[in-house]
Amino acid sequence: MLASLSIDSRPRHEAVLAGLLVAEIAVFALIGRNFLTAGNGWEVVRVSVEIGLLAIALTPVIVSGGIDLSVGSMMGLSAVALGMMSRQMPIGLAAVVTLGIGAAGGAVNALLVARLKIPPLIVTLGTYSLFRGLAEGLTGGVENFTNFPESFLYLGQGYLLGAIPAQLPIFLAAIAGYWILLHRTTHGRAIVAIGFSPEGAKYAGIPVEKRLGLVYVLAGAVSSLAAIIYVAHLGQAKADAGTSYELMAITAVVLGGTSIFGGRGTIHGTVLGLFAIAVLQNGMRLADLPSELAGILAGVLLVISILVSRRRSA
C-alpha cells in the first residue's frame, strides 16, 4: 500500500519522455534551420513560460483526481484587471492585486469543489465561462490596454545577462515550489492519496477539504502570474489572453505522465511534457513545415508516450 502511494512508482515514463524529447531535438537539429542554437533554446523557454505555469499548477490538481478548466479564462480576467488597474496605480501594486484576484477566483473553485463537493469538471467549466465572460464584459471584448512601462515589459521581453529570458527565474521558482509541495511535503502526499481514493484519504485522517482547496487556490494565483508575464511578453492586455491555454496545459500534464484519474504524476514529468510540445512547435516552424502538423504530431506523441509507458509498467 505504501509503495503504491509513492509518486515515483512508475519512473519509466519520464525516461521515455526524455528520450522522445532528445529524439525531437536531434531530428530538428537535422532538418530545421538555426534550431540547435542557444538563442533558439532560450526563445523556446520564453514562449513556454505562460502555458508552463498553468501546466505546473494543474499537475497537483489532476493528481488529486480533479481538473481546472478555468485557468486560461483566469488569465484573460487577470490580464484585463491588470490593464485597468495599471491606469490607476503603480504597475507593481496592480500586479500584486492581480495575483489576489487570481487567488480569489481559485478560492471560488476551491469552495465549490472541495466544500460543496460539486464535480470539478462542472465547476470549472462554469468558471471557465464566468471568468472569460467577466473579462469580456469589463472591456466590451475590444478594449486593449497597452503602453505599459518599459521596466514592466522587461519581465516578458528582456534578457538577463544578455541571453536568458527575464521570466525564466520566476518559472524556475514556480517549478521548484510546486516540486517541493508535491514531492517533498505531507501536503503533496495527501494530494496523491486523495487522487487514489478520496474516501480512503478521508478515513486515513487527511483533511481532504483543506488539501484540495489549496491546489485550486494556488492554480488561480498561478494563472494570474501567467497572465502578468503574458501581458509583459505581448505588451498588451486584452480579454482574449490565454484563450484555449488550458487545453495545451492539460496536454502537457498528461503527456508528462500524470494520470487523468488522479493518484499519479510528477512535476518534472510535466516540464518534460511541456518542452516536448514546445520543441515540436518551434522545430516545425524552423523546418518550414506547416504548423498545423505540430498539432497532429503532438497528438501522436501523446498516444505513443502513454502506450510505451503503459507497456513498461504493465
Partner 1 sequence: MRSLWVACLIGLAACKPVESSKKFTVAMMPKNKGNPYFISCKKGAEEAARELGVEFIWDGPTDTDPAKQNEVVEAWITRGVDAIAVSVENKDGIATVLKKAKAKGIKVITWDADTQAEARDFFINQATAQGIGYSLMDNAARVMGGEGEFAIITASVTAANQNEWIQHVKARLAEKYPNIKLVADPFPSDDKQDVAFSRAQEILKVYPKVKLIMAVCSPGVPGAAEAVKQSERKDVKVMGLALPNACKKYIHDGVVDCIILWNTMDLGYLTVQASVAKIKSGDTSMPAGKLKTVEIRGSEIMLGAPFVFNKDNVDNFDF
Instruction: Give me the residues that bind partner 1 (CB under 8 A), please.
Output: 19, 22-23, 26-27, 29-30, 32-34, 36-37, 39-40, 43, 47, 50, 144, 146, 153, 157, 230, 233-236, 238, 240-241, 243-245, 281-282, 285-286, 288, 290-292, 295
> If you write DSSP's letter for every residue of the chain in order, what string do you get?
-HHHH-TTS-THHHHHHHHHHHHHHHHHHHHSSS-SSHHHHHHHHHHHHHHHHHHHHHHHHHHTT---TTHHHHHHHHHHHHHHHTTTS-HHHHHHHHHHHHHHHHHHHHIIIIIS---HHHHHHHHHHHHHHHHHHHHTTT--B----HHHHHHHH-EETTTEETTHHHHHHHHHHHHHHHHHSHHHHHHHHHHH-HHHHHHTT--HHHHHHHHHHHHHHHHHHHHHHHHHHHS-B-TTTTTTHHHHHHHHHHHTT--TTSS---HHHHHHHHHHHHHHHHHHHHTT--THHHHHHHHHHHHHHHHHHHHHH-
Nearer to partner 1, 223 or 281 (CB): 281
Residue 146 CB, shortest distance to partner 1, in Å, is 4
Complex with partner 1: residue 104 or 247, whichever CB lies closer: 247
Cβ proximity to partner 1, 116 vs 142, nearer residue = 142
DSSP symbols for 128-191: HHHHHHHHHHHHTTT--B----HHHHHHHH-EETTTEETTHHHHHHHHHHHHHHHHHSHHHHHH
Closer to partner 1 by Cβ: residue 8 or 288: 288
> Least separation, in Å, of the C-beta of 125 and partner 1?
19
All residues at 6 or more sequence positions from 176 whose CB lies less than 8 Å from its CB, including other chains: none
Question: Least separation, in Å, of the C-beta of 106 and partner 1?
Answer: 23
Least Å distance, CB 169 to partner 1, is 20
CB of 145 to partner 1, least distance (A): 9
Closer Cβ to partner 1, 54 or 112, answer by number: 54
**Amino acid sitting at position 216:** Y
Query: CB of residue 67 vs partner 1: minimum separation in angstroms?
Result: 21
> Considering beta carbons, is residue 238 or 264 the nearer one to partner 1?
238
Nearer to partner 1, 37 or 129 (CB): 37
CB of residue 33 to partner 1, shortest distance in Å: 5
Give least dist CB 258 to partner 1, A. 22
Give 197 or 236: the residue with its C-beta nearer to partner 1. Answer: 236
